[in-house]
Structure formats: structure tokens, C-alpha cells
Amino acid sequence: MDYLAAQGQAKRTSQKVVDLAQVQQALKLYEAAEDRRPADLAELVKAGYLAAIPQPPPGQVLRYDPATGEVRIVRAP
């Protein structure tokens, strides 16, 4: 792998981590304030906990499980 490819991969990985941390923090704040998990991530935006749902890197999707409160970035089907 050349330097530019490695640099691009590092940027995508760091952005993925930052976006997930932002969503996870918003989920924790929402659950603490509302005493429940949101039904979907759009509810975090409506309630003002997130400005917008972060866009995952190309070829990936953001998955949220309201039963567990887990949010992940996974490969698109």
C-alpha cells in the first residue's frame, strides 16, 4: 500500500470513530434525559441531541438497534 492510500484509509477510520463517538454520546444523553432509548436515530435529531445523522464512509451504513442501544458502522449490503 502506498502512502496516499494509507493516509486515506487512516482518515476514513478516524472519521468513522469520531462519528460513532458523537452518536453514542447523544444516545447516552437522550436515554438519561428521556429514561428510554430512541426508536431511531432521527429521534436524536428531532430532540436536538444531534444536528444531523452522520454520514458513514462510502460503501457503509449506520446501524442502530433500539433494543440494545448499540450503533455500528457496517458494510452496505
Specify whether the CB–CB gap between 47 and 30 falls below 8 A.
Answer: yes
Mean pLDDT over each residue of the chain, to the nearest integer? 84
3-class DSSP string for the chain = CCHHHHHHHHHHHHHHHHHHHHHHHHHHHHHHHHCCCCCCHHHHHHCCCCCCCCCCCCCEEEEEECCCCEEEEEECC
Which pLDDT belongs to residue 53? 93
pLDDT tens, 13-32? 545 555 888 999 999 999 99
Q: Provide CB contacts within 8 A for 15, sequence distance 6+.
A: 57
Domain boundaries, the chain: 3-75
Characterize the bridge pairing of strands 70-75 and 60-65. antiparallel
pTM: 0.74
